[in-house]
Structure 1
Amino acid sequence: MPTVSVLSSHPCHLGEGPSWHPGRARAFWFDILDRKLLEMGLDDVAPRIHDLPFHATVAARVDDDRQLIASDAGLHLRSIDNGALSELRPFWDERPGTRSNDGAVHPSGALWISTMGWRFEPGFGRIWWYRAGELRPIVDGLTIPNAIAFSPDGRTAYFSDTLEHVIYRLPVDPATGAPTGDRRVFCRVSGGGPDGATVDADGLLWNARWGGHAIDAYDSDGHLVTTLALPARQVSCPAFVGPKLDRLLVTSAFEGYDEDTRAAEPEAGFTYLVDGPFRGLPPSAVLIG
């Protein structure tokens, strides 16, 4: 039976983008709205909190010393040791009022990154493919693109449009992570919107249900197989962490809460750790060229 505990009680306004760095044995995640990067070993008492000069959403491992950070200011390389940032390329979505959102690294080293409007404008959401310096759009016409994840064999990509309550699947080239066909509905989600996701070693897609107090697991046919209840209503993204990748870190948020709502849900924005009978996939490194 899975057990849920609080990893960090630091309340994130919009906790998102968790990742595990195996070389450093550290978890990283963001508070997007407050422009923070949080870093924590699983045995630490509290996270180390780094201030950022932009609203960042994705931290992809480059190697043991560097991360690729995606934000509303573009792509930056970050030194893990001292936090130094160097611009790789400026923000790539030419439409005003957009920012980066979800992202994940395909086994080929390709980084899929989504962008969206700050005001959730319909159709402003896109997904982009980045690999070895090349960047191009691959999915268009979304609103809040989330749930980017890949099957263990690298032949299937998943993503969602949160406000549509739909998760899609898309065939991709395992050698490059680029799409080879059209998107199809993978599943429809009720009781909340499909937010961030990750895939485990058995091919189950674990999806955070924003507004639903839950993480849901779907098999490769899109059937719901299990649900994990979380204290926070606005759970945002899961990531497998730990030396054996057998623990699930889950971020959450208090975005949009007034004073009364925060008082009624004091654990909103906390970061959780779920222990259970599962095992994640080793995180891939992004290829920057």
Structure 2
Amino acid sequence: MRDAAPRSVLSVGAILGEGPIWVEREAALWFVDIKGHAIHRFDPALDVSKSWTTPGQVGWIVPTDDGLFAVGLQSGVHRFDPRSGAFTLLHAPEAHRPGNRLNDATVAPGGALWFGSMDDAEAEESGRFYRLHRGDLVESGLAAVSITNGPALSPDGRILYHTDTLGRAIWQCPVDADGVAGAATLFTRIEDGAGYPDGPTVDAEGCLWTGLFGGWAVRRYDPAGRLMREIRFPVANITKIAFGGPDLMTAYATTARKGLDVTALTEQPLAGDLFAFDAGVAGLPGHVATI
């Protein structure tokens, strides 16, 4: 596919599509519908999909080194076996915050899983970022926000990008060899009227892409935080992209129906679909989590 205009490739009508990830061992794209309590798998070569119902809100899914998956449910990090559909609780980092849920994640080159939490009511600054590796779960020490998104990592894994969605800000911080995050500095801020920065993704050139919820677009920023490119969509709520395909140059984008009234849904019949477009640049190879 070499089509720069985003097109719908899978109609799922997701309430809050999120967390797309290309799983190389299957040549398939996985993503979630947070509010729809669903995990989706899309095989673009065969143009077929499969879905699983989750026992609660699901923020993300990543492959693990045992051939299975880890998922972030509202109740905590679970192991997921798609063959049986079974979920097994591994960690409940915020059992003391029942109003929070897990939201977005990435895997570092060494297999560490980074993920965030958020206030499900999108009001309190109770969201935190965590790092899980080989059974060791630690809070990152990054500033608490209401809605976390990301994090995402630079190609060498030494810069961590994390998003304060309601604050319209994307931050960056160094990460040392032991996975400890340093002091955060502002990477870029989204101007009023352009939507809210949602899930970030980094490409092979070290540039950051972000979905814009309510902004009808995704954007690409260079490593210095300068806007390079904006790609417009026929739907308002773009949540996150992932690079896939045999050359990792196809960008898949999740979208959402959340917050759209009847009139908006009539005007945006493709809202909630999975989209694809030619990114013009390769993404980074995916990693499997060692949790």
TM over 0.5: yes
Classify the secondary structure of the residue corresponding to 1:50: strand
Matched, 1:210 2:213: yes
TM-score, normalised to structure 1's length?
Answer: 0.94
Equivalents in 1 of 2:279, 2:98: separation in Å?
A: 43
Letter in 1 for 2:230: T
1:177 and 1:236 mapped to 2: Cα distance? Answer: 26
Q: Deviations over 1:8-56 (max 9, x none)?
A: 1111000001111111111110110010001110134342111111211
Q: CA deviation at 1:140?
A: 3.2
Q: Cα deviation per residue 1:39-82 (whole Å; 9 max; x = unaligned)?
A: 11013434211111121111111137201111112111112333
**Superposition TM-score, scaled by structure 2 size:** 0.94
Instruction: Give the corresponding residue for 2:224.
Output: 221
Provide the identity percentage: 32
Q: Deviations over 1:168-217 (max 9, x none)?
A: 001002x34321x2100001112111100110110010110111111100
Structure 1: 5+ residue stretches without partners? none
Which residue in the other structure is 1:188 paired with? 189
Secondary structure at 2:109's aligned position in 1? coil
Distance 2:110 2:195 in 1: 32
CA RMSD of aligned residues (A): 1.5
Q: Secondary structure at the match of 1:287?
A: coil
SS in 1 for 2:187: strand
Following superposition, the deviation at residue 93 of structure 1 comes to 4.8
- In structure 2, which of residues 250, 263, 266 is the aligned counterpart of residue 263 of structure 1? 266
- Matching residue's letter, 1:220: P
Query: Is 71-80 or 187-196 further displaced after alignment?
Result: 71-80
Alpha-carbon distance change, 276 to 140 in structure 1, aligned in 2, over 3 angstroms: closer
Q: Which moved more, 1:195-204 or 1:86-95?
A: 86-95
* 2:74 is aligned with 1:48: no
1:275 Cα deviation after fit: 1.3
Q: Distance in 2 between matches of 1:35 and 1:91?
A: 20
1:78 alignment partner AA: F
Partner SS state of residue 288, structure 2: coil
For residues 100-150 of structure 1, what are the alpha-carbon distances to aligned partners after superposition, in whole Å with 9 as ceiling and x for unaligned? 011111112111111111111231111111111111211232111113110
Classify the secondary structure of the residue corresponding to 1:263.
Answer: helix
The residue number in structure 2 matching 1:140 is: 143
Please, which moves more after superposition, 233-242 or 60-69? 60-69
2: CA distance between counterparts of 1:25 and 1:80? 16
Match of 1:282 in 2: 285
Contact 1:71 1:91 (8 Å CA) reproduced: no
Q: In the aligned structure 1, how far is the partner of 2:172 from the partner of 2:115?
A: 16
Match of 1:33 among 29, 35, 48: 35
Residue correspondences, number: 286
1:246 counterpart letter in structure 2 = M
Take 1:91 and 1:153, find their aligned partners in 2: how far apart are those partners?
27
SS at match of 2:83: coil
Alignment check: 8 A CA contact 2:116 2:150 kept: no
For the residues of structure 2 that align with 1:259 and 1:145, how far apart are their CA atoms?
A: 28
- SS of the residue corresponding to residue 142 of structure 1 reads coil
Q: SS at 2:18's partner residue? A: strand
Q: Which residue is equivalent to 1:273?
A: 276
Secondary structure of 1:140's counterpart equals coil
Is the CA contact (8 Å cut-off) linking 2:113 and 2:131 kept in structure 1? yes
Query: For residues 9 and 16 of structure 1, what CA distance do their matches in structure 2 show?
Result: 14
Letter of the structure 2 residue corresponding to residue 157 of structure 1: L
Q: Report the Cα distance in structure 2 between the residues aligned to 1:176 and 1:57, rounded to whole angstroms.
A: 26
- Residue from 175, 179, 194 that aligns with 1:172: 175
Residue matched to 1:254: 257
Take 2:85 and 2:215, find their aligned partners in 1: how far apart are those partners? 35
Given that residues 154 and 206 in structure 2 are in contact (C-alpha distance below 8 angstroms), is that contact kept between their aligned partners in structure 1?
A: yes
Could you list the runs of 5+ residues in structure 2 that have no partner in the other structure?
none
Q: Which residue of 80, 105, 108 corresponds with 2:107?
A: 105
